[in-house]
Chains A and B, each alone.
Chain A
Amino acid sequence: MSVIDTLRGTTEPARPLALARIGTTFAILLEARASADSLFRLAKPGIIRAPYVDWAPEVTEPLAWVLIGLWVISGLALMVGWWTRVAGAVLTATLASVLLLDQQLYSNHLYLMVLVAGLLTVADSGAAISLDARRQGERETINRWPVWLLRLQVSIVYGFAALSKINLTFLSGSVVASYLRREGPLAVPDAWRSVEPMMVLAVLAILLEAFVAVSLWSPRWRAAGLVAALALHVGISGWLSPTYQLTVFSLLMLPLLLVFLDAAPGSRVVVWDDGCGFCATWVRWFRRLDWLHALRFVARSELATSGLPVSEEAAARALQLVTPRRTYAGFAAVGRAAEVLPISFLWAPLLRMPPVAAIGERVYARVAARRLCSVTPAERQGVATRSA
Chain B
Amino acid sequence: MSGSSLRRRFLVAAVFAFLAAQVVVPAVALFGPRPARFSWHMYSALPPVPEAWTVAADGTREQVDLGRIFAVQRAEIDYAAVVRAGLCTVVDARAVEIRQSADAPVETITCP
| Interface, chain A (partner B; CB < 8 A) | 2, 4-5, 8, 38, 41-42, 44, 46-50, 102-108, 111, 115, 145, 149, 152-153, 156-157, 160-161, 163-165, 167, 169-170, 174-176, 178-179, 240, 249
Contacts and interface: CB of A to CB of B under 8 A. Distances in A.
A83 B76 CA distance: 37
A36 to B, nearest CB: 12
| Residue of A38, A108, A111 contacting most chain B CB atoms (<10 Å) | A108
Given A157-B40, A161-B40, A104 B30 contact: no
B22 A108 contact: no
User: Interface SS of chain A: helix, strand, loop or mixed?
Assistant: helix
A167 B45 contact: yes
Given A47-B70, A104-B74, A164 B41 contact: yes
Interface string B1-30: 000000010011001101100110011011
Nearest to A45: B90
A108 B40 contact: yes
Contacts of B35: 164
A46 B70 CA distance: 9
A281 B19 CA distance: 47
Contacts of B41: 108, 160-161, 164
Interface in B44-97: 44-46, 68-74, 76-77, 82-83, 85-87, 89-90
Given A48-B87, A49-B86, A50-B82, A164 B39 contact: yes
A153 B22 contact: yes
Contact of B46 (A153, A174, A240): A174
A214 B97 CA distance: 47
Contacts of A41: 71-72
B42 A161 contact: yes
Given A48-B87, A152-B22, A106 B37 contact: yes
A229 to B, nearest CB: 15
B5 to A, nearest CB: 12
A8 B11 CA distance: 10
Contact of A179 (B37, B43, B73): B43
B44 A50 contact: no
Contact of B40 (A46, A49, A156, A170): A156
